Copies of this chain bind each other. A is one copy, B any other.
Amino acid sequence: MTQHLSIFLIQLIVIVIASRIFGYLFKLMKQPTVMGEIVAGIVLGPSMLGSMFPEYLNFVFPPNSLGNMRILSQIGLILFMFVIGMELDLSIIKQKARTAITISNASIIFPFLLGIGLAYFLYEDYGLPHTPYYAFALFMGIAMSITAFPVLARITKERGLSGNRLGSIALASAAINDVTGWCLLAFVVAIVQAGSISSSFLVLLETVGYMLAMVFIVRPVLKKMVNQQQNQIIKQSTTAIILITLLISALATELIGIHALFGAFMAGLVMPAEWSIRKVIIDKIEDVALILLLPLFFVITGLRTQIEALNTPMLWGICLLITIVAIIGKLGGGALAAKFTGESNYNSLVIGILMNTRGLMELIILNIGYELKILSNEVFTMMVIMALVTTFMTGPLLDLAERIYSKKAVPAGFSTDNSI
């Protein structure tokens, strides 16, 4: 017990320090700090430090200590998805509804179909034996069509786009993309967990029942409770009720079989919409969750990412193929849809580039796929590389688009701390 605590404290210290250092370095490189934190996780794993110092992994991350880390990182992700749900201001969607829905749908359907097509070629050699093709294909479809709303929100803000038309369309599209994507994911996980499409009917029914309950029972009750608060100060008992709601929602979706993170996200969405209330809750949760717990998730991801397993030109070729298909699907799909709704060439390109940002969201989904034994180690690693590459390229591509279309220079770089 005492020894467990020491090891866990060492892990936390190593992880938090590494993620802060890499986050800082990436900020200097004008990349979102969260990308640095993700890379820190990979550096701490078998791909880098683990292969250089084999003893180190056994000392800092002994296999029997990973259970604690996993549970804690799940709690961190539950808090994080809850915050994401709360930060998703659905009112921005109303303003640009038609355009945003078109772009969002196109940038889901197009990469989704490409993902299914890609899965057809990958399944024979890299699918896991007990995972049926439809599960692998549906999952690859989803994994290809994710946009990271939080990173996108941060980038548009940093580039001075968030006030204008272009920024609001991109943000609204990403918001719809997030909600649709996570709902689709829930259904895909439901189908995979149920074992076959036909037997998933009950799970789908439960999912619909759960969502109706959240929107038509939980949401109004919470709204009423918050309205009774006399001022902006949230009592500890209110915080407790909100946390209990979050936990029950996460448990409900976990028991239904559509993953606890979907429940956490939904709980965030149905919180009372007054921004001041949400802000207080976010303040209470964000720092501890983001500084202490989320880096644990990056390290779990890093421990699963085995770049050294991609040891043939063939595997790297497939990794490149996945990345190209991902970019064509999201960037191409988003840009074409924007053009179709009547946007200028420049605007369409920028929207495509922004929708191609996968960030942390993609990693969360990939880990779900890994834990459900849908993704093999190799495919998981390739998809992680794809997620990193497509997120890294957003900044440089936006610079390039501005230069091509001779738009005025904007303050580049990401100066704030917590860009996810």
The interface of chain A, by Cβ under 8 A from chain B, is: 1-2, 4-6, 8-10, 12-13, 16-17, 20, 67-68, 70-72, 74-75, 79, 235-237, 239-240, 243-244, 247-248, 250-251, 254-255, 260, 283-285, 287-292, 371, 417-418
**Known A67-B67, A243-B291; contact A237-B6, beta-carbon cutoff 8 A:** no
Nearest CB in chain B to that of A70: its residue: B1
Would B71 and A16 count as touching, CB distance under 8 A?
no
A235 and B417 in contact, given A287-B284, A292-B243 (Cβ under 8 angstroms): yes
Residues of B contacting A250 in the complex (Cβ-Cβ under 8 angstroms): 9
Least Cβ–Cβ distance between A293 and chain B, in angstroms = 10
Copies in the assembly, this chain: 2
Asked if A9 contacts B254 (CB within 8 A), the reply is yes
B291 touches A236 (CB 8 A): yes
| Cβ of A301 to closest chain B Cβ, rounded Å | 14
Instruction: Flag if B248 contacts A13 (CB, 8 Å).
Output: yes
- Shortest 6 CB-CB distances between A and B: which pairs? A9-B251, A236-B417, A284-B287, A68-B71, A13-B247, A240-B291
User: Which chain B positions have C-beta within 8 A of A70?
Assistant: 1, 4
Contacts of A289 in B (CB 8 A): 288
Distance of A148 Cα from B13 Cα, bound (Å): 30
Q: Which residues of B contact A67 (CB under 8 A)?
A: 4, 67-68
Bound: A72/B418 CA distance, A: 25
> Could you tell me the distance between the alpha carbons of A247 and B79 in the complex, rounded to whole angstroms?
21
Q: In the assembly, what is the distance between CA of A53 and CA of B185, in Å?
A: 39
Closest to A295 in B: B240
11 new A-B contacts, CB < 8 A, other than A236-B290, A239-B287, are A2-B371, A5-B260, A9-B247, A10-B251, A12-B247, A13-B251, A16-B247, A20-B244, A72-B72, A236-B287, A288-B288
* Min CB gap A292→B, angstroms: 6
For A290, the chain B residues whose CB sits under 8 A away are 236
Shortest beta-carbon distance from A229 to chain B in Å: 13
A256 CB, min distance to chain B CBs, angstroms = 11
**Alpha-carbon gap, A1 to B67, bound state (A):** 8
